[in-house]
Amino acid sequence: MSAGIELDEARALFAERDLIAVGARGDEERRRRHGTTTTFARVLDVRVDAVPGSIPAGASPGEFRVSGKPTSADAAVAAVKAALAAAGGVPVTAFSLADLFELGGHVVYNVLEIVKRLADAGLQAVAEAPIDGFGAGGQAVVAIQQTVKAGLAVPRLTVRRPAEGAAVDLLARAREVQHASGGVRAFAPLARVSSVAQPSTGYDDVKTIAVARLVVDNIDSIQVDWSLYGPKLAQVALTVGADDIDGVSPLEGDLGRRRSPLEEIRGNIKAAGLEPFERDGLFALLGQ
């Protein structure tokens, strides 16, 4: 596997006005790694304080995800147990690791105790680890290392807020976290919370995806969130470096098979000249 590009080159690419040229480089690296294979996950996202008793009728998720910040370690464990009972064998992921870190008072020992309790309750993986959610220094590395040590996978790195001029630094941090801890399967470089004062543009988002694919060489997949960024941006992202789509609705609805979320995501991937493969929350393939 080739080494990622140097950070000075990454900054130059962010400054480059020729978006097509930048995107072509991201696409070339994506195809070198994955060919035309593109994965996606149908995610049933439930709140920590409102875990249903079962999967809703008509839903076919590949991941049962518990989101939101728990009020205590006991509440987190209770939510995980309820989710596992409701999921019926569908892989369960839960919580932002940064929220668990905050719940533990930013004390590594306390966080280790919390994630151990979650692992003992049957949880296999945390839902996400936002690389900008742990403060300065190497706290993200330590939190992820301790979580893996406790028996929970950390398969997905995310970005909580826009970098505002420091995008390359965040990409470098993702690469460093993976180098130090390992086990990360996907990195979603687009912010999950938009800036009201300075919202990103599609131009910025596409460039971020392409440069992320070139910088973060030690994480297998670059991911874009279907529910947050929509089918149009997701489809473009697949042509400039992304190879995994998160957050596809598991609900079939009443609009007919051809207009179901499953057929829509497959259609969008095929329209980009790629091959869709569904996966579960632990990144195991479920089929085409």
CATH of the domain at 140: 3.20.20.70
Which structural domain, as residue segments, surrounds residue 231? 7-287
Helix segments in the chain, DSSP class H: 7-15, 19-34, 73-87, 97-103, 108-120, 139-149, 167-181, 202-215, 226-238, 261-271
The pLDDT of residue 195 is above 70: no
Cα 222 to Cα 11: distance, rounded to the nearest angstrom: 19
- The pLDDT tens digits for 215-226 are 999 999 999 999
Residue 1 belongs to a domain: no
Residue 218 inside a domain? The answer is: yes
Domain count, the chain: 1
pLDDT in tens, 255-276: 545 568 888 999 999 999 999 9
pLDDT at position 77, please? Answer: 97
Flag whether pLDDT at 46 surpasses 60: yes
**Is residue 210 one of the residues assigned to a domain?**
yes
Model confidence, pTM? 0.91
Q: Is residue 13 part of a domain?
A: yes
Domain contains 2: no
